[in-house]
Amino acid sequence: MNWQEVDFDWNQIRAFLATAEAGSFSGAARALSTTQPTITRQIAGLEKSLQLTLFERSTRGLTMTEAGGLLFEHVKDMGGAASRISMVAQGFNTDIAGEVSITAVDFVCVQFLIEAIRRLKKQAPNLRIKVLASDEVQDLRHRDADIAIRHVRPQDPELMAKLIANWSASFHASPAYIEQSGLLIDGKNADSVEIVGPRDPVPFQKMCADLGIDLRLEQFTMPTTSALVAYEMVREGLGVGIVAENVARNDPQMKRIWPHVPAFDFPVWLVTHRELHTSKKIRLVFDVLEQVLKQA
Can you give the pTM of this predicted structure? 0.63
Q: Please give the pLDDT value at position 181.
A: 85
Give all domains of the chain, ordered by start, each with its CATH number: 3-94 (1.10.10.10), 98-161+267-295 (3.40.190.10), 167-266 (3.40.190.10)
* Count of helices and strands (H, E) across the chain: 12, 9
Comparing 4-13, 97-106, 108-117, which segment has the lowest mean pLDDT?
Answer: 4-13
Cα 287 from chain centroid (whole Å): 10
Task: Summarize pLDDT for 17-69 with one digit per residue, the tens.
Answer: 889 888 898 888 888 888 888 999 999 988 888 888 999 888 778 889 998 88
